[in-house]
Amino acid sequence: MGREIDTVAVLGAGSMGHGIAEVAAIAGYDVTLRDIEESYVEDGYEQLEWSVGKLAEKGQLDQDPDAVLDRVRTTTDLEAAVGDADLVVEAIPEDLEMKRDLFADVEAATAADTILATNTSSLRVTDIAAETEHPERVCGMHFFNPPVKMDLVEVVSGEETDDDVVDAAYGFVESLDKTPVLVRKDIPEFVVNNVLVPFMEEPGWMRDAGEADVRQADAAMVYRRGYPMGPFELADFGGLDIFVHTREQWNEPVPECYRSLVDGDDLGRKTGEGFYDYEDGPGVDYEPGDGEGFNTLRVEARMINEAARLVGQDVADPEDIDIAMRLGGGLPEGTCRTGDKLGLGRVLEKLETLHEETGAPRYEPADYLVELVESGHTGEDAGRGFYDYSDGGPYHYIRHEIDEDGVLRVVFDREERLNALSDDMLNEIDRLLKTVDTDEVTCVTFEGAGDRAFSAGADITGFTTADATDLMAVEDAVETIYDFERPTIAKIDGLCLGGGFEITMACDIRLATEGSRLGSPEINLGLIPGGGGTQRLVRLVGEARTKELVFRGEQISAEKAVDWGILNRAVPESEFEETVEAFVSDIANGPQTALKVAKQVINEGQDASLKTAIAMESQAFGLLSTTDDMLEGVEAFTHDRDPDFE
């Protein structure tokens, strides 16, 4: 039987607690925020109130902020907080005994069907639930900090958690407009932390051994491998004490370079000094050239090995691991995907060499990784690794479906990076349009996930790691969109910049919300637009306006883009979907042969002389006059009815 959730209690008003309370209130739930001291509750509520106000100020809240705040009440009374709650989320410090005591008290004060969830990031749900009489009610619901911005939530099943509790928790996370990832087995640190810890830890061991320094490791992983932060930079950001405490609570060894800093109370950014000096020094100051000579494979091999261990132990699927690492770890691509691109044979060989040389358990290859390699499933080049590439592989960065009217709806699915265009995403767009059965398609719509961006452009983290030929993937995908034989529509809501702007210019129809911004900012990176960004733009708006946009690298409003002839329409947010669907309906129900020919003649005619283009048009007109669709159109016109084209 499904469990209904209407009221939520959040225990702990710190950064995680008030953040969880905020997202629940925004989603429409009645929320009680509770802590042990009135001052803690007041501070938490003030932060929640400030955050809701900022969201409203930035136009990121589609409701009255006062209505959100009216759904939140505060208390220090535990029984009053949880007595009527359908869901209780614990968000107190990572202390096992403290959490156990709290859950025992909560269980006694709640109804038998109340779901009890812990926001722990590193402890086992089963261990926390051990002091309760009904551990089947307890699950994990690990939000990432800050909850209002981070999209991922790890939903964890304890060893005795009921399936319907997990299902309800999963559904609750979805109702918050967050992405849940199911952790099927209750292991310490779940998915993201298990895979991310080696990223920070392994460079520490290398530094201890004199095989790397801080700036070398950080520069290599950022500028050579495309990670958003270097390992030591990330450790400083999160707090070195948290890293060391988490490792020690599971009796895991800790690199001396970490321990010595923590012993000296140099905990990273929060104390002003860690691996970098943020007070008296320059802070994070590594440069691209600093990364030469660092063994990046050693770090990534350990991360990939951890991912393989999770898959092999049935903790999570490769797809969920990769989504978790992108949304929760901030990685540009999932770790399983990285392994398939690097080659799992290389990864296994590296681990075996390190294990033989050191004997350290951290290098012992996961059984599943060995199994994959021994089966010949060594990655993308072999046709199979974590993923099956026999038909091109799964789609990681776009979602697509063909509806009953033949409309192919494509969503750029990298919301965590404002739908920035990676090489993989561009290849997926290209592959989809080249392999789809066009006889089943009437038109195509393109849009970005979320409401912040159609696409903010090419993913610049890949610029320093890509070959020049890789960057040409933009041109390939854009040309495929432009040449696609069915009409294409760009649905622009939010930022539409760089490569995203170039994709829209390759589309036949461009529709936007009034708040959208468009532009070609490449000049600010020392580049020029690619993917036809200069040539299609000049054909749309002329030389003067093209040079203004390209030379200045500025964004223009949707209203100005309409005035300049870049957009077909810019409408209020409330009218956007209705406007789009009006265009889609007209095209999807139109004469498909004529639409195909019209697109071809218009596109090709632009590159021909006027005389040649008119001849093309005349020939096409003559051919279409012999079709059944033409006869149906004439008959429908004569009898004053809507045509029913084939």
Query: What amino acid positions are annotated as catalytic residues?
Result: 121, 142, 154, 193
Give the Cα separation of 285 and 292 in Å (integer). Answer: 16
Q: Specify the DSSP class assigned to residue 491.
A: E
Give the Cα separation of 645 and 631 in Å (integer). Answer: 10
Ramachandran region, residue 287 (left: φ > 0; alpha: ψ -120 to 50; beta: rest)? beta
φ, ψ at 630 (rounded to 5°): -65, -45
Contact 151, 416 (CB under 8 A): yes
Sign of the alpha-carbon dihedral angle for 529, 535, 536, 539: positive
Residue 336 tokens read as 């399983």
Please write down the HEC assignment for all residues of 520-565: CHHHHHCCCCCCCCCHHHHHHHCHHHHHHHHHHCCEEEHHHHHHHC
Residue 564 tokens read as 């300049």
Residue 180 tokens read as 């849940």
CB atoms within 10 A of CB 253: 13
φ, ψ at 119 (rounded to 5°): -90, 15
Residue 349: CB partners within 8 Å, gap ≥ 6? none
Beta strands in 12-150 (DSSP E): 30-34, 72-75, 87-90, 115-118, 138-143
Q: How far is CA 557 from CA 468, 562, 570, in A?
A: 32, 9, 9
Residue 472 tokens read as 């040409």
Query: CA 287, 292, 297 angle in degrees (round to 5)?
Result: 115
Residue (of 104, 108, 157) closest to 131 by Cα position: 104
Collapsing DSSP states into helix, strand and coil, what is residue 30? strand
Q: How far is CA 469 from CA 466, 476, 498, in A?
A: 8, 11, 18
Give the Cα separation of 71 and 478 in Å (integer). Answer: 46
For the chain, the farthest-separated pair of C-alpha atoms sits apart, in whole angstroms, at 89
Residue (of 171, 194, 169) closest to 328 by Cα position: 194
Residue in this structure with the two tokens 């009409």, named with its chain if needed: 487
